Amino acid sequence: MRAIYRGDLDGTVCTAILMDVGLVDEVIQAHPKDMQDKKVEVTDQDILCNLPYHPNCYMWFDHHSSEIDKADFPADFKGSVEVAPSAAGLVYKYFLPDHPELKRFERIVHETDLLDSANLTLEQVKNPQGTFLLGFLLDPRTGMGLSRDFRISNYQWGLQLPALITKHSIDEILAMPDTQERVQRYGEMQEAATEFYLAHSHLDGNVIVTDVRDLPIPPANRFLIYTLPGLETGNISVRIASGKKGEFNTISVAYSIFNRTSSVDCGELCKGYGGGGHASAATCQPSVDDSDRILKEIVEACKD
C-alpha cells in the first residue's frame, strides 16, 4: 500500500508510523493544491496523510480546520480527521491501541505537535535542535529545496526519511551525510536570511508584509520573521512568493508565535481564495494577474 503525504515533518512522521505498522511500502509526496485540483492519481491502495480528501483513498488522516469545515466533508471514511496539533498525533492515537510498540514514537509525535502548532520558544526558533531542526529542514517554507548543489535533491532526501525514522533516532538522522549538508547550509544562511527579510518586509499596522516574488530566497525557518527588529510587534504575517515555474504566486498567512493576539481565521480567509489551512496558518495560490489585488485584500482583512 502507498502513503501519499505532505512532505513536511508532520506528513513524514505520519508515514513513518504507517510503515512501522506494516501498512505502507511505497511513498509519494504531494502538495495540497495538487490534491484539491485532482492532479494526483489516488486509488483504494492509498493512505492520505496531512492532505485534502480524495474519495478513492483507502484511509485519510488530516487535522486542518479548513478541510473539516468544507460543505462536502465526507460523511463516512476510514481514518481520523479532527482539529489537532498535528496529523501525526492522529495517526499515532489511531494505531497505538493495537500496536503498543508505537510508544517509541511518543516523543517525536509530541515534538511534531509542538512544531506544527507553532508552540515553540524563542530559543527553539533561533537555535533549533533535534526534531525541531529536522522539521525546519523539511519544511518547504524554509526553502532548502531551492538549493541545487546537494548530493541528492531535497525531494529525494525527504522521501528517504519515513523509512529512516522507523530505524534510527533523530540525532542519528541529523548526523547522516545528506542531512549534514542541509544542517550546514541552514546554519550558514541565517545571517543572510535576516538581512534578506529585513530588506523585503515592512510593518503595515499590525501586519508583517513580506514580498519575495522573483527573488532567490535564502533558507530560513518560517518563524524567523517574528524575531526581527522593527517587525517583532506584528501579530500576523502575510508573505507572497513566486510559485512553481512562475505559473502562480503563493500567499502565506500566519500568526506570530510570540505575539498571539490576532483573531483572524487564516484558514477561512485563504479558503475564500481557493486555499486553506489552520485558523492560525494557511496559504492560497492566486494567479499572477490576481495576486496584487488578493494580497492587498488579505492584508486589509488581517488588520486589527
In angstroms, the CA 109 to CA 228 distance is 29
The reported pLDDT for the residue numbered 127 is 92
The reported pLDDT for the residue numbered 132 is 97
Q: Is 111 exposed, middle or buried (0-12, 13-18, 19+ CB in 10 A)?
A: buried
Residue 4 has pLDDT above 90, yes or no: yes
- Output 207 or 68, whichever has higher pLDDT: 207
Residues 251-266 have pLDDT tens digits of 999 999 999 999 999 9
Average pLDDT, the chain: 95
The reported pLDDT for the residue numbered 77 is 94
Residues 190-222 have pLDDT tens digits of 899 999 999 999 999 999 999 999 998 888 988
In angstroms, the CA 61 to CA 79 distance is 6
The reported pLDDT for the residue numbered 15 is 98
The reported pLDDT for the residue numbered 38 is 86
pLDDT-derived band at 246 (thresholds 50, 70, 90) equals: confident
The reported pLDDT for the residue numbered 71 is 83
The reported pLDDT for the residue numbered 85 is 95
Alpha helices (runs of H) in the chain, residue ranges in sequence order? 9-20, 32-36, 65-68, 87-95, 106-116, 122-126, 130-138, 154-167, 170-175, 177-199, 266-271, 291-302
pLDDT-derived band at 102 (thresholds 50, 70, 90) equals: very high
Least Cα distance to 211 among 230, 196, 224 occurs for 196
The reported pLDDT for the residue numbered 90 is 98
Quick one: CA dihedral 245, 248, 249, 253, positive or negative? Answer: negative
Options 3.30.390.50, 3.40.50.10330, 3.40.50.880, 3.10.310.30; CATH of 195-302: 3.10.310.30
In angstroms, the CA 298 to CA 262 distance is 14
Residues 174-191 have pLDDT tens digits of 999 999 999 999 999 889
Q: What percentage of the chain reaches a pLDDT higher than 70?
A: 100
Residues 110-134 have pLDDT tens digits of 999 999 998 999 999 989 999 999 9
Question: If you search the block for the grid coordinates 503595515, which residue do you land on?
Answer: 204
The reported pLDDT for the residue numbered 68 is 86
pTM of the model: 0.84
Residue 278 has pLDDT above 90, yes or no: no
3-class secondary-structure state, position 8: coil
Residues 15-39 have pLDDT tens digits of 999 999 999 999 999 998 888 888 9
Least Cα distance to 6 among 128, 127, 121, 158 occurs for 158
Cα separation of the two ends of the chain: 47
